[in-house]
A and B are shown apart, each in its own frame.
Chain A
Amino acid sequence: DAMVIQNPRYQVTQFGKPVTLSCSQTLNHNVMYWYQQKSSQAPKLLFHYYDKDFNNEADTPDNFQSRRPNTSFCFLDIRSPGLGDAAMYLCATSRERTGGGLNEQFFGPGTRLTVL
């Protein structure tokens, strides 16, 4: 089945130790998103890729970076995790057309990050 896959599902890292979360998709969607979601809160968009074009949200800390080496894969790099970065990280995809449209986003199962 076509899907959005996130690895690992659970990640534990130490304060200040770089960590990378991965997302892959078999949907061939041209847009990929990374959201941060803290407990009982709405997902917060960090950034997204429209094809190879990267769009960073204005309030996303520099500590968060992203890479999209090809259509299928997208990575979230946290350069120096702090305790406040402990959260669920959700990857999502959508298919967007240049003429516009309102397609739903397909989400992966998320990676729950713990910072010790």
Chain B
Amino acid sequence: AQKITQTQPGMFVQEKEAVTLDCTYDTSDQSYGLFWYKQPSSGEMIFLIYQGSYDEQNATEGRYSLNFQKARKSANLVISASQLGDSAMYFCAMREGGPFQLNTNAGKSTFGDGTTLTVKP
């Protein structure tokens, strides 16, 4: 069964500094994808970054990068140069690979409990 663990309920960071949000996962599949989403107080879930289990390089998207350590089953999100607008809840999610199949977990996302990030001015 899939499981995602985010151990930091809340994090604080000073504006312009970097911050790392932790995510560990558990799966028996060899093929899977890891996603990070941002959820501001308005409620919308915004896709940030994706890492495939077979990707050899860590994913980067602008100020976001994913520190992927496959052996440790961790996929930490690094936000560089934090901005006040980064204050939000951040969710790590995982999807197992393979065909999307009804009545199975294939294709479904499992979300962690989230980390609330507060950026201080």
List residues of A whose CB falls within 8 A of some B CB.
31, 40-43, 45, 48, 50, 53, 55, 88, 90, 92, 96, 98-102, 104-110, 112
Contacts of B44 in A (CB 8 A): 107-110
In the complex, what residue of chain A is closest to B48 when comparing beta carbons? A104
Contacts of A102 in B (CB 8 A): 31-33, 50, 52, 95, 97
A40 to B9, CA, bound (A): 9
Number of interface residues of B (CB under 8 A): 30
Contacts of B46 in A (CB 8 A): 107
A105 to B47, CA, bound (A): 7
Contacts of A45 in B (CB 8 A): 108-109
Are A104 and B35 CB-contacts (below 8 A) given A31-B100, A96-B100?
yes
11 examples of A-B residue contacts, CB within 8 angstroms:
A31-B100, A42-B113, A43-B111, A50-B102, A90-B43, A99-B99, A102-B33, A104-B50, A107-B37, A109-B43, A110-B43
